[in-house]
Amino acid sequence: MRRGGRMKLKAVIEGIEPVSQEWRLKARDYLNNLAIPQGSLGQLLDLAEQLAAIKQTLKPSIQRKVVVTMAGDHGVVEEGVSAFPQEVTPQMVFNFVAGGAAINALAEVAGAQVIVVDMGVAADLSELVEERKILSYKVDYGTRNMTRGPAMTREQAEQALTAGIEIVEKLVQTGLDLLATGDMGIGNTTPSSAVLAALSGLPVKDVTGRGTGISDEALENKIRVIERALEVNKPDPRDPVDVLAKVGGFEIGGIAGLILGAAYYKVPVVVDGFISSAGALLAKALAPDSVDYMIAGHRSMEYGHRFMLEELGLKPLLDLNLRLGEGTGAVLAMNIVEAAAQVINQVLTFEDAGVSRNISGGSDA
Ligand SMILES: Cc1cc2ncn([C@H]3O[C@H](COP(=O)(O)O)[C@@H](O)[C@H]3O)c2cc1C
Ligand SMILES: O=C(O)c1cccnc1
């Protein structure tokens, strides 16, 4: 890890501020005066308030939307934790580049640009990097098998986090209004469950699901594998970098870095499902105020996701039985985030619209 990288990570973590309480109150007051029965646009009003507070304006504009899909491989796949073989990770990267994946289809609907990043795929993707079709922040060719020791070194964990921050830093330079996170990496629900169990103390069996669709027997094995990884490595829950290094993944670290970068640069970030939320948990553990900038795109079908959302204190926008990752649930939710921005931009107050107020005398709620 370059010294500059570690300093950047520290500076970003220390530089993350809570969203402006003054703007929150200003936005709430304004939204309470819109010509609608008070609160009747429900969660859209909470979102509008959050956007206004993040961007410190009553007219938040959402022009450039980007989903960053982070790819990485996992040594733990040799323990039989996924229904699919490891070569699917690079194959799907090629599919993203060809525009043939679910994330491409849904990002198109959202009007979002898809940026694919090699964080640590166990294959040579230099051809795609040279053709400028993907970015490379490759830490290594896959993590190590975490049942036998740490998935990565502490330096590699810091490198992954810093990569996510640097990507946001570059995007911000050319204008970024709304970010979404995504993942691709065969086996990555295993480290995601491990990160959740390590940080929350919840039992592994309660936070481990079927990922790509493993059998009952394979699920039992996956639980034992995660328990063993935690026993062997003993990640320190008070030290999120230690948790990432011992039982995480390169793309999970990259996603945590994206979220930290978004919080630092005051860009709202839509968090996708189970893997992205593992990144979000790490970001929260590193910088608790980063949660102010997060929007939970959806609730994944992967069982443990509910606990992640609870730990983050976030209410998901959608619940569509998705369990894919790639950023799909996050880009779908981008349309709703834009709708919330449009509400605060366009809907008039009672006064400006010349509409009579509630006559019941009580609160409008
Ligand atoms: C074709 C294909 C496309 C995917 N796109 C996302 N995932 C998702 O499934 C994987 C995690 O599940 P597990 O831990 O069970 O391997 C990750 O790659 C995740 O991004 C995919 C998986 C497959 C097979
Ligand atoms: O929620 C997700 O992101 C998810 C769930 C299962 C498999 N892959 C991703």
Distance from Cα 210 to the centre of ligand 1, integer Å: 11
Cβ of 211 below 6 Å from ligand 2: yes
Instruction: Supply the pLDDT for residue 306.
Output: 98
pLDDT tens per residue, range 171-186: 999 999 999 999 999 9
Instruction: Supply the pLDDT for residue 33.
Output: 98
Cβ of 211 below 6 Å from ligand 1: yes
Main-chain phi, psi angles of 70, to 5 degrees: -95, 125
Tell me the average pLDDT across 38-59: 98
131 catalytically annotated: no
Domains defined along the chain, listed by start: 65-339 (3.40.50.10210)
Alpha helices in the chain (DSSP H): 3-15, 21-32, 42-55, 88-98, 102-110, 126-130, 154-173, 189-200, 216-233, 240-247, 250-264, 274-286, 305-312, 328-346, 350-353
Nearest CA among 4, 12, 53, 9 for reference residue 29? 53
Distance from Cα 260 to the centre of ligand 2, integer Å: 21
Cβ of 186 below 6 Å from ligand 1: yes
Cβ of 116 below 6 Å from ligand 1: no
Distance from Cα 323 to the centre of ligand 1, integer Å: 9
Annotated catalytic residue within 251, 302, 326, 338: 326
Q: Residue 294: how many CA atoms within 13 Å on its side-chain side?
A: 35
pLDDT tens per residue, range 187-222: 999 999 999 999 999 999 999 999 999 999 999 999
Tell me the average pLDDT across 52-56: 98
Cβ of 30 below 6 Å from ligand 1: no
Residue 363 has pLDDT above 60, yes or no: no
Ligand nearest to the CA of 95: 1
Residue 4 has pLDDT above 90, yes or no: no
Instruction: Supply the pLDDT for residue 77.
Output: 98
pLDDT tens per residue, range 323-356: 999 999 999 999 999 999 999 999 999 999 999 9
Cβ of 302 below 6 Å from ligand 2: yes
Instruction: Supply the pLDDT for residue 5.
Output: 83
pLDDT, mean over the chain:
97
At residue 362 the predicted structure's pLDDT band, cuts being 50, 70 and 90, is: low
Residue 244 has pLDDT above 60, yes or no: yes
Instruction: Supply the pLDDT for residue 2.
Output: 64
Nearest CA among 267, 243, 241 for reference residue 181? 267
Residue 1 has pLDDT above 90, yes or no: no
Residue 68 has pLDDT above 90, yes or no: yes
Residue 268 has pLDDT above 70, yes or no: yes
Distance from Cα 174 to the centre of ligand 1, integer Å: 31
pLDDT tens per residue, range 72-114: 999 999 999 999 999 999 999 999 999 999 999 999 999 999 9
At residue 361 the predicted structure's pLDDT band, cuts being 50, 70 and 90, is: low
Distance from Cα 157 to the centre of ligand 2, integer Å: 22
- Report the nearest atom of ligand 1 relative to the CA of 184: 20
Instruction: Supply the pLDDT for residue 148.
Output: 98
